[in-house]
Amino acid sequence: MRIGVLASGGGTNLQSIIDACSCGRISGEVALVISNNSSAPALERARKAGISTLHASSATHPDPAGLDGAILEALKGLRVDIVALAGYMKKVGSATLRTNRNRMLNIHPALLPDFGGRGMYGMAVHRAVLASGVSVTGPTVHLVGTEYDTGPILAQEEVPVLEDDTPDSLQQRVLEAEHRIYPDTIEAFGQGVIAVYPDDTVIRPLCITGEFDEAGRMLASDRESLRQIGAAGGVVFGAFADSRMLGCAAAAPSESEEDVWKLRGMAVSSTDRRPDLDSMMFDHVRKAVSNRSGGRVLLSPGAS
């Protein structure tokens, strides 16, 4: 997988992607780093790692369509498969976005759809989180849509907000989570473990740590079973539209038979649930089990 990164600032997320490529956590390489800011430390990090760089801004290309075209051509020229925005402070041009639809990712330092949109970047996000009094925040990785901070959500990691947090301390804790979640999501997306279907439904692994929120309408009994499956080293996938969960499927290793996993379909008590998603979720579970252990998944879809 060849990755193109667009970054305007410090580039710590870029660095986490470069490092993940070097150690094999991402099976790919960063082919190009583009910045609108010629003195961005992100460009320096890229040069240090021997990666091609491009400075493209209204200073180098006064005509917006020309700028859009230059960025698009650079990505094409280096045969980039996935584009990762990592603190890119400009709106991506329409030609670049159209051509890279469904393979351009962004990371945002809050749990979208909350605390996103125009003006919600940098410290403004963390200040708004603190002012709201929520107890949980954390980064979101999403596909880039046409408006700021929109597009199907691929992954989120919850980070607690502590009582004595300042915007700085919160930013620091969220940034650490960003450096975990962004490389892992790029790899999972690149490998098809996280998939976005044509109607924007996302099927992705679930991390069974926090509570599901009210809108998720997860039944308490299912939530407990899922937690147990997660704790037993099982795999759990959920199907989402926006941030609403439509359903989930899980498999746990069988205690009695080696290499046999038991599949469970979990109902989400929601009118949004689409039974047609079951087979897609089961496919993801089966693939994950076979990748992880080579194990077989037993029981027909729908069994519990």
Binding test (CB under 6 A) with ligand GRF, winner from 68, 149, 178, 278: 178
| Phi, psi dihedrals of residue 43, rounded to the nearest 5° | -65, -40
The residue annotated as part of the active site, out of 108, 126, 142, 284, is: 108
Nearer to ligand GRF, 42 or 251 (CB): 42
Q: Is the dihedral of CA 62, 63, 64, 66 positive or negative?
A: negative
Q: Is the dihedral of CA 105, 118, 113, 10 positive or negative?
A: positive
Strand order in the sheet with 202-205: 195-196, 202-205, 235-241, 244-253, 260-266, 296-298
User: What would you measure as the largest C-alpha separation in the chain, in angstroms?
Assistant: 68
C-beta atoms surrounding 121 within 10 Å: 16
Residue at 300: amino acid letter: S
Residue at 14: amino acid letter: L
- Find the residue with minimal CB distance to ligand GRF: 87
The 61-80 site mask, x for binding ligand GRF (CB under 6 A), equals --------------------
DSSP-assigned letters across all residues of 116-164: -STT--THHHHHHHHHHT-SEE--EEEE--SSTT-S-EEEE--EEPPTT
Nearer to ligand GRF, 126 or 264 (CB): 126
Taking the complex as a whole, the smallest distance from the CB of residue 18 to ligand GRF amounts, in Å, to 11
Taking the complex as a whole, the smallest distance from the CB of residue 54 to ligand GRF amounts, in Å, to 17
Piece of the chain touching ligand GRF by CB under 6 A; list 27-35, 101-109, 232-240, 268-276: 101-109
Binding test (CB under 6 A) with ligand GRF, winner from 28, 93, 109, 238: 109
Binding test (CB under 6 A) with ligand GRF, winner from 46, 74, 80, 87: 87
Binding test (CB under 6 A) with ligand GRF, winner from 67, 86, 186, 195: 86
The 213-252 site mask, x for binding ligand GRF (CB under 6 A), equals ----------------------------------------
Can residue 117 be called a binding residue for ligand GRF (CB under 6 A)?
A: no
Q: Distance of CA 63 to CAs 68, 69, 99, 120, 134, Å?
A: 9, 10, 19, 26, 43
Active-site residue flag, 108: yes
Piece of the chain touching ligand GRF by CB under 6 A; list 2-10, 46-54, 147-155, 267-275: 2-10
- Rounded to an integer, what distance in angstroms lies between the CA atom of residue 72 and that of residue 60? 15
Partnered with residue 4 across adjacent β-strands are 32, 83
- Rounded to an integer, what distance in angstroms lies between the CA atom of residue 154 and that of residue 195? 8
Q: Which element (helix H / strand E) includes 17?
A: helix 12-23
Nearer to ligand GRF, 22 or 269 (CB): 22
- The residue count of the chain comes to 304
Can residue 107 be called a binding residue for ligand GRF (CB under 6 A)?
A: yes
Nearer to ligand GRF, 86 or 266 (CB): 86
Can residue 111 be called a binding residue for ligand GRF (CB under 6 A)?
A: no
Binding test (CB under 6 A) with ligand GRF, winner from 6, 13, 161, 194: 13
Nearer to ligand GRF, 183 or 295 (CB): 183
The answer to whether 145 and 102 are in contact (CB under 8 A) is: no
Residues that bind ligand GRF in the complex, under the rule CB under 6 A: 7, 9-14, 86-87, 107-109, 139, 175, 178
The residues assigned a catalytic role are 108
